[in-house]
Structure 1
Amino acid sequence: MKYMFASDIHGSAYYCRKLLEAYRQSGAERLILLGDILYHGPRNDLPREYAPKEVISMLNPMKQELLAVRGNCEAEVDQMVLDFPVLADYAVLVLNGLTFFATHGHVFHQDHMPPLKAGDILVHGHTHLLKAEKVGENYILNPGSVSIPKGGNPATYGILEETSFRILDFEGNTVKEIRLDGKPEETV
């Protein structure tokens, strides 16, 4: 099965539209949001077309297709306007036979790992920096930021297909790729 991962929409109606268009075209079964959905946060400039109410109206009709975790910008008021749960600090997902610890990244990240078994995968956002690496016995994935990318990266999202994780820009170009099945890594 195919799954899409995205983080850090930060209330950008422009990038939410692009994300949902990419999601529809991808054929993914679910869209997994890794936090910071509506608010831009005090450390970020306003993203393009900052319009949280529009983001709400785009995401709520898709509630059956969304899984989300809480970002450092989510608050109880966000849950009051969103029709899908957004306040869980993490989710443990088994997708295509792989175990993912999905979180935003402001608590658990490469330098403060959650308790994982060998081969498990930590997937998070928060840094706005894309990553797909094997670190020790685990994998660290960050699909980058949908609306406010950093480090010279383009706006990106991730696709899990079978045991391959690709990070793509909104033109459909693969920016980075990694195999998550323990076979020799193939990175682009």
Structure 2
Amino acid sequence: MKLFFISDLHGCLKSTQQALNAFERSGAEHLILLGDILNHGPRNPVPDNYNPAEVANLLNQYKHCISAVRGNCDSEVDQMLLEFPMLMDSMLVLLESGQKMFLTHGHLYHASRLPLLNPGDILCHGHTHIPQASWHDKQFIFNPGSITFPKNGLKASYGLYQDGVFSVLLLEDDTLYTQGSLLVGDIS
């Protein structure tokens, strides 16, 4: 199973197009959206190429392979434009290894406020706009960063999961930014 993660799109059409092009190149079967899909939010500037309606139209073309959770900037009005559900605060995915992968945006659950998970399970979130792939309190924390508003001088990034490995790649050229290895039974 190959999963492709993007977070914090914030209605930017250019970034969304670039991420979907990377999704196509990756050969991933599933596209995971970790929230803040259409709205730029009150703390962010309006992004260049801001076009939430067109972002929705573009994402709707992938509705059959999208799993999405609600971000703190997402609303019921946004859901009216999207043809896939995105108003759940979290979602649980079972990996082939039997591990649980908890998907959320990151404003409710994060490394400082972990959901109820077993040792070795995975917390996937966005919200901070800072990539992460590391162990924390016997859970693996994964954040693909932001495709629209990366922070701390970082570049736009997305995430991949395949064969027990989570990787963060740069959106502009698919080069590896960081990676974390997660093997069955490995609780580092």
TM-score (norm 2): 0.95
Question: Quick check: 2:120–2:187 contact (8 Å CA) kept in 1?
Answer: no
Q: Work out whether 1:14 is the aligned partner of 2:14.
A: yes
Question: Quick check: 2:100–2:117 contact (8 Å CA) kept in 1?
Answer: no
Deviation at 1:152, TM superposition (A): 1.2
Deviation at 1:81, TM superposition (A): 1.1
Deviation at 1:94, TM superposition (A): 1.3
**C-alpha distance in 1 between matches for 2:127 and 2:137:** 22
Larger mean CA deviation between 145-154 and 89-98 belongs to: 89-98
Deviation at 1:184, TM superposition (A): 8.9
Q: 1:141 corresponds to which residue?
A: 142
Q: 2:47 corresponds to which residue?
A: 47
**C-alpha distance in 1 between matches for 2:147 and 2:21:** 13
Q: 1:178 corresponds to which residue?
A: 180
Structure 1 gap segments, 5+ residues each: none
Structure 2 gap segments, 5+ residues each: none
Overall identity of the aligned pairs, in %: 45
**C-alpha distance in 2 between matches for 1:184 and 1:139:** 8
Give the match's secondary structure for 1:108.
coil
1:113-150 Cα deviation digits (max 9, x unpaired): 10010000001000101111111211111000011000
> What are the residue-to-residue correspondences of 1:15-164 with 2, within 5 Å?
15-97=15-97, 98-164=99-165
Deviation at 1:104, TM superposition (A): 0.2
**C-alpha distance in 2 between matches for 1:183 and 1:112:** 22
**C-alpha distance in 2 between matches for 1:74 and 1:6:** 15
**C-alpha distance in 1 between matches for 2:142 and 2:73:** 20
Give the match's secondary structure for 1:35.
coil
**C-alpha distance in 2 between matches for 1:76 and 1:184:** 38
Tell me the C-alpha RMSD between the 2 structures. 1.2
1:3-43 Cα deviation digits (max 9, x unpaired): 00110000000000000000000000000000000000010
Deviation at 1:83, TM superposition (A): 0.3
Question: Quick check: 2:138–2:187 contact (8 Å CA) kept in 1?
Answer: no
Counterpart residue identity of residue 152, structure 1:
G
